[in-house]
Amino acid sequence: MSDLPAVVVGLSGGVDSSVAIASLKAQGYPVVGLTLWLMKGKGQCCSEGLVDAARLCEELGVPHHIVDSREIFEKYIVNYLVSGYASGVTPLPCSQCNRLVKFGPMLAYSREQLGIDYIATGHYAQVKYNPTSDRYELWRAVDRHKDQSYFLYDLPQEILAHVLFPLGQQTKAETRALAAQYGLHTASKPESQDLCLIEAHGSMRQFLDQYLPSQQGEIVDVHGRVLGYHQGIHHYTIGQRKGLGIAAPEPLYVVALDREHNRVIVGDRATAGRRECTVARVNWVSIPRPTEPLTATVQIRYRTPPVPVTIIPDPNSEQVQLEFAEPQFGVTPGQAAVWYAGDRLLGGGIIQPFSTPTPEPLETRVAQV
Ligand SMILES: Nc1ncnc2c1ncn2[C@@H]1O[C@H](COP(=O)(O)OP(=O)(O)OP(=O)(O)O)[C@@H](O)[C@H]1O
């Protein structure tokens, strides 16, 4: 009998989680596979993922559980996305899904149904216990290109204390080599490129179009001049530069989404740059909440490089104010800002809507004259 604790491994049917469970098993951990059934559609997280995960567990000779999580996925992710886009923000579903749909419920199921106290996933990130601070710290993965720590910033200490990331210290190439070495049928599965919802529905636009009706409106500049038309403000993101469908001599960025008048407001680079923003729903991970301002680097999107920032805690709330050393162009309400000291993830939260002065619609101004 192994002295190692039993671990429940979240399986999506993809190569990363397949190698995560096979590696833990090879190290002597008693393992159980668990797949959350998240939505209907094609691709992982749907029936295809369930079948691949079941087949993998059969090959490995380990138990496999499937938990129908479609209802909580609908409640916490689909509704969150649809209401966010409808109100003019661009929500980040992955960190919320990790906390509320995946890690929290997986650990609860493991404990309550299986009496198992540890869970693992195929995420590329590392958890390190710091005995001095008595905190479970989150660190970037060794494979910087695959690092997924950004999406995990919202995990509380109670969960991090019970999580293993078996792939955090290896490269994706090593994962693929191990998949072949273990003879896993998932070894040659292509990399998932995008958000699971996008894989299942084709694009975010196609997904949203099922819920939010098209509603034509104006694309205007910061003076209220009409430059073009759109089919719904939910197709746009603050900071967006490409795909605006308007010809202009200089690059234009979306600087505000005016829900009240169903308008997209665009501006030049100088208008689009932001030096600060407010971040709410902050989760402090590797350090406790500071009382003094702190310098760090911050990522305002998954794929943007970290940039220098000062984080100013609000004495009266859990919010913080971020002050960037240089103006940033993709500061998008609804997305996560996640700050680091080197490779150590300190904390993160959700960027709050900011007030960009929006011009009065033309007819209102004409009426006032
Ligand atoms: N439906 C699910 N049920 C259980 N665990 C899941 C599910 N989807 C994802 N996970 C876990 O979260 C990890 C990261 O998921 P993500 O969607 O980012 O996939 P990925 O990085 O492409 O990994 P994989 O190759 O395993 O699909 C997975 O490796 C897996 O452990």
Q: Would you state the pLDDT for residue 357?
A: 62
CA-nearest residue, atom 20 of ligand 1: 16
Name the CATH architecture for the domain at 7-201. Answer: 3-Layer(aba) Sandwich (3.40)
Quote the CA–CA distance of 57 and 279 in Å, as a whole number.
Answer: 42
ipTM of the prediction: 0.97
State which residues of the chain have pLDDT below 50: 367-369
Please write down the HEC assignment for all residues of 281-309: EEEECCCCCCCCCEEEEEECCCCCCCEEE
Sheet containing 226-230: which strands, arranged edge to edge?
226-230, 217-221, 263-267, 253-258
Q: Report which of 40, 46, 39 is spatially closest to residue 13, judged by C-alpha positions.
A: 46
| pLDDT reported for residue 41 | 62
Sign of CA dihedral 300, 346, 294, 145: negative
Q: Report the predicted TM-score, pTM, of the whole model to 2 decimal places.
A: 0.92
10 annotated ligand binder: yes
pLDDT at 368: 47
| 13 in a known ligand binding site | yes
- CB of 122 within 6 A of ligand 1: the answer is yes
Tens of pLDDT, residue by residue over 58-94, are 999 999 999 999 999 999 999 999 999 988 899 999 9
Closest by CA position to 138, among listed 119, 122, 153: 153
Ligand 1 midpoint to CA 369 (Å): 59
36 is in an annotated binding site: yes
Structural domain spans, the chain: 7-201, 214-271, 273-351
Rounded to whole angstroms, how far apart are CA atoms 202 and 92? Answer: 18
Q: Which residues are catalytic?
A: 97, 196
Is 35 a pocket residue for ligand 1 (Cβ < 6 Å)?
yes
pLDDT, position 364? 55
Q: How remote is the CA of residue 278 from the centroid of ligand 1, in Å?
A: 31
For the domain 273-351, what is the CATH code? 2.40.30.10
Predicted local confidence at residue 1, as pLDDT = 58
Q: Is 127 in the pocket of ligand 1 (CB under 6 A)?
A: no
Helix (H, G, I), strand (E, B) or coil at 60: helix
Q: Which of 232, 325, 328, 318 is nearest to 273 (CA)?
A: 328
- Match 């902050």 to its residue by tokens: 282
Distance 11 CA to ligand 1 centre (A): 6
Looking from the CA of residue 35, the nearest atom of ligand 1 is 3
What CATH number does domain 214-271 carry, 3.30.390.10, 3.20.20.150, 2.30.30.280, 3.30.365.10? Answer: 2.30.30.280
**What is the per-residue pLDDT for 369?**
40
Q: 3-state SS string over 15-27? A: HHHHHHHHHHHHC
